[in-house]
A and B are shown apart, each in its own frame.
Chain A
Amino acid sequence: MSKTIITVVGKDTVGIIARVCTYLAGNEVNVEDISQTIVQDYFNMMMIVDTSGSTKPYAEMAAELDELGGAIGVRIRCQREDIFTKMHRI
């Protein structure tokens, strides 16, 4: 199974990474890489995660992360890695 990319974009606030990671840990999703930048208080994070150990269906996880993003005040998206690798790698 391919990896999943989670992106978090929005206004910076305390505890964004903590809350996202807590959710992922609670659902047996392994975080393999995190990179983030902050430009003018604008928080931008990308996580590469492995969902193969998770029992939660992908669609449900994507919906719950979207909901969590709403609660924090940021946009959280879940996308399979292929869309990025196909576009940027030959």
Chain B
Amino acid sequence: MINILEVNETNKMIEQEKLDVRTITLGISLLDCCDADLDALNRNIYEKITGLARDLVSTGREIELDYGIPIVNKRIAVTPIALVGGRACRSPADFVTIAETLDRAARDTGVNFLGGYSAIVSKGMTPNEEALIRSIPAALAATDRVCSSVNVGSTKTGINMDAVKLMGEIVRETAEATKERNSIGCAKLVVFCNAPDDNPFMAGAFHGVSEADAVVNVGVSGPGVIKHALEGVRGENFEVLCETVKRTAFKVTRAGQLVAQEASERLGIPFGIVDLSLAPTPSVGDSVAGILEEMGLESVGAPGTTAALALLNDQVKKGGIMASSFVGGLSGAFIPVSEDQGMIDAVNRGALTIEKLEAMTCVCSVGLDMIAIPGDTPASTIAGIIADEAAIGMINNKTTAVRLIPVIGKDVGDTVEFGGLLGHAPVQRVNGFCCADFINRGGRIPAPIHSFKN
């Protein structure tokens, strides 16, 4: 039988160390909504989402109440809209009507974000996919809750450099289209390499075509819990350090697995995966940077940071994998700058640069995330950064992503407020040397040699 010490340990994690379940994300296939008539398509989409997700938010609240663990976000991910809208949409403007429908469905079901305004163009772009991509700036300016992502490469296909170039321009246009709100549209736009089909985290969530009609995915969190556990083993060797992270990750993931199973049962929708991620928030004590510094770094960004992040990412997976029957999504440690007070502090004290963050993305689960850059950064430079990240993902067989915010009218030294979970960020310096001739070559980078496994 459970004892008072164990009960107190769990409740201390929840109350003092900010243990929570970061998101219950309901994945919904919209493939059966396709129609040649745009109005009919929009109607089908709205009805399917609001029908399946009707009880998502209330069920999440019930589970929170029953177990006393906060479930911070309830969200929806849908089939990449480029696939769904193909028959009905003749222009980017047609696609924007779908974004507005998604926004309305998100608002009416009470979720804070809906992901899947997406295109998977890792090898080539169909005219429909290009039209969707070109509609992204207008779509993100016209909506509040819709999130967009574009997959521009994979280990299996190589990198679609035409799409990379286009995304450099689209990120800039999105920044321009939302410049009155600190270019916030870019905070809802992710460029991926090796995007997973079942990621529950925003802004990159979409419901891949390999998925069932509807599925419940859960993202766990808990950087504060890991940091607290490490405070108890200061000065101990790496074996003890790794073991402590692993044990703690196991406990955190078990809570996520329980919530996932409950949500699946109560909603009558199959359970998909638990995403074992350490997702920070801007609140104090909920920081991945804090864990790395607890390991012995004076500041994130110091030499040793990449090694510390690598072991953290690996131990979180090792601890979590046994705690859940299905693991998927991104699974690892997130290092968004604006959403992690420790990262923000490190940038402000001059310890953390974009180049160091890029190195860190080689060993963590995501990429250059929520980084504010000067508003006059050229599209080709943004495309160059996207190409670098995609190359890291392609060669290392992992997911990488870029979510940069060129904040129009701001420069290095300014700070930008995005609000809520998106946090605030100091504008960071970008290498000013030009890569336009490289980006303008066009075409594809072939798949790496180790992708040929057949």
Q: Do A and B bind each other?
A: yes
Which residues of A are interface residues toward B (Cβ below 8 A)? 5, 7, 33, 35-37, 44-46, 48, 58-59, 62, 77-89
B13 (CB) vs chain A CBs: closest residue: A87
Least Cβ–Cβ distance between A9 and chain B, in angstroms: 8
With A46-B7, A77-B11 known to touch, is A85 a contact of B2 (CB < 8 Å)? Answer: yes
Closest A-chain residue to B256, C-beta based?
A86
Any chain A CB within 8 A of the CB of B258? yes
In the complex, are the beta carbons of B2 and A84 less than 8 A apart? yes
Give the complex CA separation of A35 and B7 in angstroms: 11
Binary interface profile of B, 1-15, with partner A (CB < 8 Å = 1, else 0)? 111101111110000
Contact A88 B6 (CB under 8 A): yes
> In the complex, which residue of chain B has the Cβ closest to the Cβ of A79?
B68
List 7 A-B pairs, minimum CB-CB distance, nearest first. Answer: A79-B68, A83-B67, A46-B4, A88-B6, A86-B254, A84-B2, A86-B258
Please name all residues of chain B whose beta carbon is closer than 8 Å to the beta carbon of A86 when the two chains form the complex. 254-255, 257-258
Contacts of A84 in B (CB 8 A): 2, 6-7, 10
Given the complex of chains A and B, what is the CA–CA distance between A86 and B254 in angstroms? 6
Which of A7, A62, A81, A82 touches B11 (beta carbons < 8 Å)? A7
Q: List 20 A-B contacts (CB under 8 A).
A: A5-B7, A33-B1, A35-B4, A36-B4, A46-B7, A48-B1, A77-B11, A77-B68, A78-B68, A79-B67, A80-B67, A81-B2, A82-B67, A83-B10, A84-B7, A85-B2, A86-B254, A87-B10, A87-B251, A87-B254
Enumerate chain B residues within 8 angstroms of A79, measured Cβ to Cβ: 66-68
Tell me if A83 and B68 are in contact (CB < 8 A).
yes
When distances are taken between beta carbons in the complex, the residues of chain B under 8 Å from A5 are: 2, 7
Q: How far is the CA of A36 from the CA of B1 in the complex (A)?
A: 15
CB neighbors of A among B1-60 (8 A): 1-4, 6-11
Contacts of B251 in A (CB 8 A): 87-88
Inter-chain CA distance A82–B7, complex, in Å, is 11
Chain A residues whose CB sits within 8 angstroms of the CB of B382 once the complex forms = none
Per-position 1/0 for B408-449, Cβ under 8 A of A: 000000000000000000000000000000000000000000
B255 pairs with A87, CB closer than 8 A: yes
How far, in Å, is B150 (CB) from chain A's closest CB?
A: 38
Closest Cβ neighbor of A63 among chain B residues: B65
Additional A-B contacts beyond A44-B8, A81-B2, A83-B255 (8; CB < 8 A): A35-B4, A44-B4, A48-B1, A58-B66, A62-B65, A79-B66, A83-B258, A84-B2
The answer to whether residues A37 and B66 also contact, given A87-B255, A88-B10 and a CB cut-off of 8 A, is no
Q: Which residues of B contact A36 (CB under 8 A)?
A: 4
- Residues of B within 8 Å of A62, CB to CB, are 65
Residue B69 is within 8 A (CB to CB) of chain A in the complex: yes
Q: A37 CA to B8 CA in the complex, in Å? A: 11
Shortest beta-carbon distance from B265 to chain A in Å = 12
Q: How far is the CA of A79 from the CA of B2 in the complex (A)?
A: 13
Q: Hey, which chain B residues are within 8 Å of A78, CB to CB?
A: 68
Q: What A residues does B10 contact at CB under 8 A?
A: 83-84, 87-88
Answer whether A48 and B67 are a contact pair too, CB < 8 Å, given A83-B10, A83-B255, A88-B251: no
A5 vs B1: C-alpha distance in the bound complex, in angstroms? 11
Report Cα–Cα, A44/B68, bound state, in Å. Answer: 17
In Å, the complex CA distance between A48 and B66 comes to 15
Q: Closest Cβ of chain A: how far from B227's Cβ, in Å?
A: 18
Please name the residue on chain B nearest to A88 by beta carbon.
Answer: B6
Chain A residues closer than 8 Å to B65, beta-carbon distance: 58-59, 62
**Which residues of B in the span 104-127 have a Cβ within 8 Å of any Cβ on A?**
none
A84 vs B69: C-alpha distance in the bound complex, in angstroms?
Answer: 11
Closest to A84 in B: B2
Q: Which residues of B contact A45 (CB under 8 A)?
A: 4
Nearest opposing residue in chain A for B3, CB measure: A35
Q: With A and B bound together, what is the CA distance between A33 and B2 in angstroms?
A: 10
> In whole angstroms, what is the CA distance A2 to B7 when docked?
16
Contacts of A37 in B (CB 8 A): 4
The CA-CA distance from A58 to B6 in the complex, in Å, is 23
The distance in angstroms between the C-alpha atoms of A69 and B425, with both chains bound, is 41
Q: How far is the CB of A71 from chain B (nearest CB, A)?
A: 20
Shortest distance between the CB of A63 and any CB in chain B (Å): 9
Closest partner residue, chain A, to B68 (CB atom): A79
Contact of B258 (CB < 8 Å), options: A33, A48, A82, A88 = A82
Chain B CB count within 10 A is highest, among A5, A35, A81, for: A5
Which of A35, A58, A83 interacts with B69 by CB under 8 Å? Answer: A83
> Across the interface, which residues of B come within 8 angstroms of A82, CB to CB?
67, 258
Name the interface residues of B230-272: CB closer than 8 Å to any CB of A.
251, 254-255, 257-258
Complex: how many Å from CA A77 to CA B8? 12
Residues of chain A lying within 8 A (CB to CB) of residue B67: 79-80, 82-83
Interface residues of B in 46-104 (CB under 8 A from A): 62, 65-69
| Neighbouring A residues of B3 by C-beta, 8 Å | 35, 46
Given the complex of chains A and B, what is the CA–CA distance between A23 and B8 in angstroms?
Answer: 23
